[in-house]
Structure 1
Amino acid sequence: MKITSIEAIPFAIPYVKPLRFASGEVHTALHVMVRVTSDDGIVGVAEAPARPFTYGETQESIVAVIKTLFAPQLVGMSILDREAMHAIMNRTVGNPTAKSAVDMAVWDVIGKTLGQPVTALLGGFTDSMRVSHMLGFAEPAKIVAEAERMRSTYGITTFKVKVGRRPFGLDVDVCRALREEMGGDIELYIDGNRGWTPSESLRALNAMADLDLTLAEELCPADDVLGRKWLVDHCNVPFVADESATKPGEVTRELLSGAANAVSIKTARTGFSHSQRVLFQCDGLGAEVVMGNQIDGQIGTLCTVTFGAAFESTTRRAGELSNFLDMSDDLLTEPLEIVDGRLSVRQVPGIGIDIDAGKLAKYRLDQGN
């Protein structure tokens, strides 16, 4: 059960419409498919999304670090030596999505080798999760129309609203329109992507105090230490650390310092192995968690629900599992389906990722199409 190859395959799939938010916007999924093969001929697959405005990684840097650093050192190791693999990869600073994709692809190989679903190996709590849909920057009428479509077509009733624009009035108008047009049976929470100052954040929260928001995520800069603590002290909903909590040590710092009291877990940046550590830290400290979205494609979304459905505390809130719907195409032979507001895990050995070879050939960037 030794690793014989690790591949990093860049691909590009356009979005039907761009997702816009305070720290950037995404028009095309410039992702990297990571493929790990064992000497038994078993192949594990995961996906690394390039998010230079958040983690500093580009598609080119992800491919380069896997091909030139990680693969040469990990090939020949047992697929069970996950801790040793992480020790090797962690000698290289940063590169969280590259490391995470290797980790999850290895887990996929382990599951297939053992003939067990990865979600069962992780914890096996349940077989599906409620779905939350992210709504990007747009005028109130367009946002309401998108949310209505998600509710009527997929049964989704939980929505994360991107905020952080200056002045903040339009963001308040969007949230108010959603509540007024869609009623009290939907859940709303907001994500500022570090777009406001602490004082702007509090003013905006006060302006939305009657809208029954359930979470406020990363409203102000991650390095504004005193400002974040001040805001959390005045915030009447759980304040979620996201970009400020990209690894277990940062999670501990944010929670113990009082700069946040909830955490977004994203398998795209902490894989399965380190996502477990983040989750157990949060459980031990009594902090809520939400399964976040890195604007993932279907591969990444399937990894998220695989992890999220495995534990009780990750299923208490809806997971952000639907933004692949904004992509014009994807790589899976069997597309994901959201039914009655829920997404199911795949009860097959591994993660359940089966790549359509024709689509991969069409969208990959490292070979002539």
Structure 2
Amino acid sequence: MKIARIEAIPYAIPYTHPLRFASGEVHTADHVLIRVHTDDGIIGTADAPPRPYTYGETQTSIRTIVQDIFGPQVIGLDIFDREKVRQVMDRTIHNQVAKGALDIAIWDAIGQAVKTPVHKLLGGFTDSMRVSHMLGFRPAEELLEEALRFGEQYGITTFKLKVGRRPLALDIEACRVLREGLGENVEIYLDANRGWTANEAMEVLRQTEDLGLTMLEEPCDAKETLSRKRLVERSPIPIVADESVPTAGDVSRELLSGGANAICIKTARSGFTEATEILGLCTGLGVDVTMGNQIDTQIGSLATVTFGAAHQATTRKAGELSNFLDMTDDLLADPLVIKDGRIFVRNVPGVGAGIDETKLAHYRQD
């Protein structure tokens, strides 16, 4: 069963409100839908979310690399020859989101070909994941209102608070307001998106040590090697590497250098194949992992829960799966549902990302 054609379709769907964080802000999901067509008529689907302020990729660069560089080299290969496809992609450096989407689309096609859900092919540990919701830059009382609403409406009890602002008091206040308003049974963790220095991060941890925060993600730039190592050594909670670890090699570097002691896995930038390698590396070393969010659409969130539910280690913490709720619309024909704080995998062959063709026609930009 060979790859016959690859599509890279640009589309844009507005968010209900701007999402703001230390490394940038977004108003529209200007993504790329990747489709891998086989000679037997199967279509594997994935979503590629450009994040130029984090990885340097844009909607245009993803389309170009998939259509002009990867496409001509992988067309004609068997969909089961994933290592051959990976060898092609590895000849081009960076472009992790483009690579990840193509990998997921091929896995989707494989699952359909063997008439098996991909979460079963990956491990099949369970059928759902607990949901963590991301809270962006907003006044503290608005953050609390949003968290309470999501808790009541969707049963979510874990929240990731975007921090990294100056003055530090803005974020410290947000932590305190959330803890006081949500109570002790709700998990709160932080993501600074490299917005602070390591020393600023240590000061925030000092001033919030009584709040029961569980993790701090990317407190500073990983290039701040010595200070970040000191932060990891002194922090009372895990320091999670995220955008600094898009590949298994990057994970090895950060763990061995002492730049992190927990890892965020994002299928949007690693696909399923490299995510499996990263997970194996972390479980072998006894390092905690989380499943992260690339401000994903429902298609991307479905990919995350497909991988996360497949493995025991990735289900121990709530996955970041709910930011599609910040979008005005989506492309999935059968929308995701959050029930009692969980999202379930699709028990259908492949990943289950069936596309509403009418919506795609409306939002596509080519």
TM-score for the superposition, normalised by structure 1: 0.99
1:359 lines up with 2:359 in the alignment: yes
Pairing 1:41-80 to 2, within 5 Å after superposition: 41-80=41-80
CA distance in 2: counterparts of 1:6 and 1:223, whole angstroms: 37
Name the residue aligned to 1:11: 11
Q: Distance in 1 between matches of 2:83 and 2:153?
A: 43
> Which residues of structure 1 form unaligned runs of 5+?
none
1:317 corresponds in structure 2 to 317
Kept in 2, the 8 Å contact 1:332–1:353? The answer is yes
CA contact (8 A) 1:15 1:328 kept: yes
Counterpart check, 1:201 vs 2:187: no
Q: Distance in 2 between matches of 1:92 and 1:253?
A: 20
- Match of residue 187 from structure 1: 187
Aligned equivalents of 2:166 and 2:86: distance in 1? Answer: 41
CA distance in 2, matches of 1:10, 1:283: 36
Per-residue displacement from partner, 1:87-108 (whole Å, max 9, x unpaired)?
A: 1111111100000100000000
Cα distance between partner residues in 2 of 1:362 and 1:188: 38
The letter for the 1-side match of 2:245 is A
Residue 71 of structure 1 and its aligned partner are, at CA, apart by 0.6
**Cα pair 1:222 1:243 within 8 Å, conserved:** no
Q: Distance in 1 between matches of 2:151 and 2:18?
A: 20
**Which amino acid in 2 is paired with 1:73?**
Q
Aligned to 2:132: 132
RMSD value over aligned CA atoms?
Answer: 0.5
Q: Is 2:196 the partner of 1:214?
A: no
Residues 272 and 307, structure 1, Cα contact 8 Å, conserved in 2: yes
Alignment of 1:287-306 (within 5 A): 287-306=287-306
Structure 2 segments unaligned to the other structure (5+ residues): none
SS in 2 for 1:271: helix
Secondary structure of the residue aligned to 1:264 is strand
Secondary structure class of the residue paired with 2:335: coil
Distance 1:184 1:49 in 2: 34
CA distance in 2, matches of 1:226, 1:128: 39
Look up the match of 2:226: 226
Distance 2:239 2:109 in 1: 36
1:249 aligns with 2:252: no
Question: Counterpart of 1:209 in 2: which secondary structure?
Answer: coil
Alpha-carbon distance in structure 1 between the residues aligned to 2:202 and 2:263: 19
Report Cα offsets for 1:14-39 as digits up to 9, x if no partner.
00011100000111001000000111
Deviations 1:265-307 (A, max 9, x none): 0000000000000000000111000000000000000000000
Letter in 2 for 1:315: T
Query: Quick one: distance in 1 between partners of 2:352 and 2:227?
Result: 43
Distance, in Å, in 1 between the alignment partners of 2:181 and 2:89 is 49
SS in 2 for 1:214: coil
Q: Amino acid of the residue matched to residue 357 of structure 1?
A: E
Q: Runs of 4+ in structure 1 displaced over 4 angstroms?
A: none
1:57 Cα shift? 0.1
How far 1:157 sits from its partner (Å)?
0.5
Once the two structures are superposed, residues 112-169 of structure 1 have per-residue CA deviations (whole angstroms, 9 ceiling, x without a partner) of 0000000000000000000000000000011001001100000001000000001110
Q: Which residue of 2 aligns with 1:307?
A: 307
In the alignment, residue 151 of structure 2 is paired with which amino acid? R
Cα distance in 1 between the residues matched to 2:22 and 2:234:
22
- Rounded Cα–Cα distance in structure 2 between residues aligned with 1:269 and 1:38: 23
Alignment-derived partner of residue 29 in structure 2: 29
Whichever residue aligns with residue 324 of structure 2, its letter is F
Q: Distance in 1 between matches of 2:100 and 2:68?
A: 17
User: How many angstroms apart in 2 are the aligned matches of 1:168 and 1:360?
Assistant: 42
Name the TM-score, length of structure 2 as normaliser.
Answer: 1.00
Distance in 1 of aligned mates of 2:184 and 2:89: 47
The percent identity for this pair of structures is 59
